[in-house]
């Protein structure tokens, strides 16, 4: 199948990060040394080739950047310092914008002000909703246990309704983008036909790779896998608490330390802080290839998730100690950080990778298990 060469492709992708596209002379060393590359999905070399040749459709239909987990071995061993590991990261940002039908991912990744202003606007809206037009007055009466009546000012039924509205919005955006990813990477690939049985049979891999992130285990640095896993599980629990189990958590009762609400909260806090500290310190010290180059979106994600975690901790501490005004203020700040983070990061930015990676493994296995389609010969 012929493709139109897009000579502007390199310039377009460079908006998502500066890559050393011209340094690569295709020695194949990066592909040979990568522990994750496999037959049918060779990277990083294949993606470099598509970039240099201006094959926009090939690049958009490729799963290779998502199958790369940024071990950094390829960049360390590259004889030309082309930094293929960071190139895969740049291409993941680019592909996120390709899947996103709203165009916001491209705006957020290529213009720092777009993402910052969008986050700021959402934060201001949350402060106005919870702090200024909230019809419920500050309640200084404490519970029998001496804790703050948090639902007096922020009724759980209204907060939960807002949570579900946010979850439906975010899920709709993310799912629609994943469907576009599926269409571009599987359906438009006419060289293979995937049966319905393959979709069912291979689906378990999607769940397994999401929960375990086990492709990281093939990388030499096992500590990175551990910190990423703690960050992912901590965030997933926090998200489930916010959306699904909020009435179970936002109550006037102060749970004992061994009750499930407290244990889940402690684990989520530990997982988030552990992963964030590793990522933040690594980027500050530029320790290792994978932390040497940081995009502004990486830092915004780390800062927002850290502030969400810290303000959540403060709400808990102030509430159980009966500090009314401190509880209410920290709750408002918590919402002003959490809501923009979820709405921006999950469907459009860094956290969308948490969904694209396991789906890429799923789609790759669908293509490997599919039946090859013979090209028709025209006389």
**Residue 369 predicted with pLDDT over 70:** yes
Angle between helical axes of 112-127 and 296-320 (0-180°, round to 10)? 20
CB 189 within 8 A of CB 61: yes
Q: Domain boundaries in the chain? A: 9-99, 104-369
Burial of 330 (0-12, 13-18, 19+ CB in 10 A): buried
pLDDT tens-digit map of 91-106:
999 999 999 999 999 9
Asked whether the predicted pLDDT for residue 378 surpasses 60, the reply is: no
As a whole-number percent, the residues of the chain with pLDDT over 70 amount to 97
Could you please report the per-residue DSSP string of 270-335?
Answer: HHHHHHHHHHHHHHHHT-SGGGT---HHHHHHHHHHHHHHHHHHHHHHHHHTT-HHHHHHHHHHHH
N- to C-terminal Cα separation, the chain:
16
- Position 108 scores a pLDDT of 94
Q: 9-99 — its CATH code?
A: 1.10.1060.10
Contact 292, 283 (CB under 8 A): no
DSSP string, 196-262: HHHHHHTHHHHHHHHHH-GGGGGSS-HHHHHHHHHHHHHHHHHHHHHHTSHHHHSSSS---TTSHHH
What H or E segment, with its residue span, contains residue 3?
none
Q: What is the tens place of the pLDDT at every residue in 260-311?
A: 888 999 999 999 999 999 999 988 988 778 888 888 888 999 999 999 999 9
Q: 140-186, pLDDT tens digit by residue? A: 999 988 999 999 999 999 999 999 999 999 999 999 999 999 999 99
């Amino acid at each position: 199948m012929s493709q139109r060469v897009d000579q502007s492709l390199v310039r377009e992708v460079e908006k998502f990060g500066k890559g050393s596209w011209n340094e690569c002379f295709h020695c194949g060393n990066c592909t040979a040394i990568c522990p994750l590359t496999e037959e049918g999905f060779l990277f990083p070399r294949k993606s470099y080739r598509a970039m240099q040749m201006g094959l926009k459709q090939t690049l958009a239909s490729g799963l290779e950047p998502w199958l790369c987990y940024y071990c950094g071995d390829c960049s360390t061993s590259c004889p030309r310092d082309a930094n293929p590991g960071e190139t895969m990261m740049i291409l993941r940002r680019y592909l996120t914008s390709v899947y996103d039908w709203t165009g916001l991912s491209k705006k957020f990744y290529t213009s720092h002000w777009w993402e910052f202003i969008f986050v700021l606007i959402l934060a201001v809206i949350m402060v106005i909703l919870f702090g200024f037009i909230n019809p419920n007055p500050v309640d200084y009466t404490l519970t029998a246990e001496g804790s703050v009546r948090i639902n007096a000012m922020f009724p759980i039924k209204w907060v939960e309704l807002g949570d579900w509205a946010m979850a439906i919005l975010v899920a709709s955006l993310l799912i629609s983008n994943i469907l576009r990813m599926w269409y571009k990477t599987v359906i438009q690939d006419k060289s293979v036909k995937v049966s319905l049985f393959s979709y069912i049979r291979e689906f378990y891999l999607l769940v397994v790779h999401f929960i375990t992130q086990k492709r990281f285990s093939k990388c030499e640095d096992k500590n990175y896998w551990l910190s990423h896993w703690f960050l992912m599980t901590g965030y997933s629990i926090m998200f489930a608490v916010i959306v699904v189990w909020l009435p179970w958590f936002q109550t006037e009762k102060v749970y004992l330390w061994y009750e499930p609400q407290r244990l889940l909260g402690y684990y989520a806090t530990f997982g988030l802080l552990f992963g964030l500290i590793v990522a933040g310190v690594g980027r500050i010290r530029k320790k290792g290839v994978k932390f040497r180059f940081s995009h502004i979106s990486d830092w915004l994600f780390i800062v927002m998730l850290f502030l969400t975690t810290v303000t959540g901790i403060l709400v808990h501490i102030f509430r159980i100690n009966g500090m009314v005004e401190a509880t209410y203020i920290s709750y408002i700040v918590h919402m002003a950080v959490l809501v923009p983070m979820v709405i921006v990061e999950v469907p459009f930015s860094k956290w969308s990778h948490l969904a694209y990676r396991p789906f890429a493994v799923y789609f790759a296995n669908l293509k490997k298990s599919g039946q090859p389609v013979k090209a028709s010969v025209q006389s």
